Amino acid sequence: MATDVLLNKGRYRARLARTPQDLAAAQALRTLAFRTARTDRDAFDRICSHVLVEDQREGGQLVCCFRMLLMDCGREIGRSYSAQFYDLSGLQDFPGRMVEMGRFAVHPDRTDPDILRVAWGAMTVFVDRYDIRLLFGCSSFAGTDTEAYLDAFAMLKHHHLAPKRWLPRVKAPDVFRFAARLRRRPDARKAMRRMPPLLRTYLMMGGWVSDHAVVDRQLNTLHVFTGVEIGAIPPARKRLLRMIAG
């Protein structure tokens, strides 16, 4: 198997981008999925590895993509995308390799759950290949209306805040300090219904989040910093990911 192919599963193949045309296809899919007026691209695209999930039954059509920024240790976290919005100085002492996962996009016309399974399987292969100890990124809620997500934020406050030693501090000028402001107990059903699918997956892997959400009016999102310590993933979830990646 070529080293750029991460996973073949049924009709889908996950591989690393090889060419400028591959990167352009990923940017086009992100633009479509995020509904941005301009092509979704930034300076981080040049320094990231890009994972493409393609439908082999439809001529290799791109159906999902995301990018990974590899760092050898916590001292490099200042060069991450997330560091633009969060003070991550607490993570500078994190031992081991880290990878930032970002710009996760699925074609809006595709609802096959196997696409997400293959994407996470490819992520697992990438994590194993490079001996990653921490997976992190920004998890986004659609829109900037915090009232729509109060139960979800309450759930994050009560059950999923980052350990104090790793907790990101406020850096962005416009934030929602949900851990300090919310006094309500979460309605679990409403919370999970409003939780973004990507964040829900992180949480099932034992992930944790910042105590505040950044209000990004340019992208019309609210996002929380999210981390998953690979060694802390529940064994049953780890076995499932290994089965997908195998």
Which domain range does residue 26 map to? 5-245
pLDDT per residue as tens digits for the range 102-132? 999 999 999 999 999 999 999 999 999 999 9
- Number of structural domains in the chain: 1
Distance CA 112, CA 114 (A): 5
Residue 175 three-state SS: strand
Alpha helices in the chain (DSSP H): 20-34, 113-129, 150-159, 178-181, 188-194, 197-204, 235-245
Tell me the whole-structure pTM to 2 decimals.
0.93
Confidence of residue 1 (pLDDT cuts 50, 70, 90): very low
pLDDT for position 240: 84
> Are residues 121 and 7 in contact, defined by beta-carbon separation less than 8 angstroms?
yes
Confidence of residue 241 (pLDDT cuts 50, 70, 90): confident
pLDDT per residue as tens digits for the range 14-72? 999 999 999 999 999 999 999 988 999 999 999 999 999 999 999 999 999 999 999 99
CATH (domain of 14): 3.40.630.30
Q: For residue 122, give every residue at least 6 positions away whose Cβ sits within 8 Å of its Cβ, in sequence order, or none.
A: 6, 7, 14, 51, 53, 245
Confidence of residue 245 (pLDDT cuts 50, 70, 90): confident
Confidence of residue 237 (pLDDT cuts 50, 70, 90): confident
